[in-house]
Amino acid sequence: KRELAAMLVHDLKTPMTVIRSGITLLSDFATSSGKREHNRTFELLEMSTARLQRMVEDVLQLAKLEEMMGQPYADLVEMSALARACAKDFELIVADRKQTLELAVADEELPPVFGDRPLLRRVLDNLVHNAVEHTPSGGRIVIGVRMEGGAVLTEVSDSGPGVPPEAREHIFLKFFQKDLKRHVGNVGLGLALCEKVVSRHGGAIGIGDGVAKGARFYFTLPVAPSLEGV
């Protein structure tokens, strides 16, 4: 299963790279030719191919996680620093959509968690990406990190349409897209990947109400064992 997923990702990455390069060249040519009216079309094409690439990568990551035994390779990870880096990377995207991205990190220094840094960053990226996609122009997105119940809680809230109560119970299942107001995740894989990563780290993930009745996705991770109680 993992080998099949790896082959699929490998075979799809090359044509996607060619497509994205072609879009960039066409966009540059249109701009240099003074045909700026097509810029928005090229932006949409670029966004769509980038989203497709994320979906393909999620397939591979999910296949890897489903075959892993025990926890992923672990390191000391500061979720506050991870949240700041994520917010920084989304600045231009949020500005282009005329949204507001806020960072709500506890003033006190939070203890690190024991985990796989790239995988935890992928969880945060997926949650913020979903929030950006489903928050209207002028809307608000908040990334928060704080201590709660002896664990480190990370959350992403938005002022979008939210997720209906009847969809929340199954929202982290693969390919689940029962949706009345918004598409949830990347063909049902983005959130499934988040759930798998968090559970592999001994944590829990959930959903609630966000900003102005929007969505709030959150996950908790245990403090690194060697630092508990310090």
pLDDT single digits (tens) 173-225: 755 554 444 444 443 567 888 998 899 899 999 998 877 789 999 999 999 87
List the alpha helices (DSSP H) in the chain: 2-32, 39-67, 79-89, 91-96, 117-134, 165-168, 190-200
> What's the pTM value of the predicted model, to 2 decimals?
0.72
Share of the chain above pLDDT 90, in %: 32
Tokens matching residue 227: 């630092």
Share of the chain above pLDDT 70, in %: 71
Chain segment 36-94, per-residue pLDDT in tens: 666 667 777 776 777 677 766 776 666 666 666 555 566 899 999 999 999 998 988 89
H or E stretch including 222?
A: strand 215-222
User: CA 9 to CA 56: how far, in whole Å?
Assistant: 6
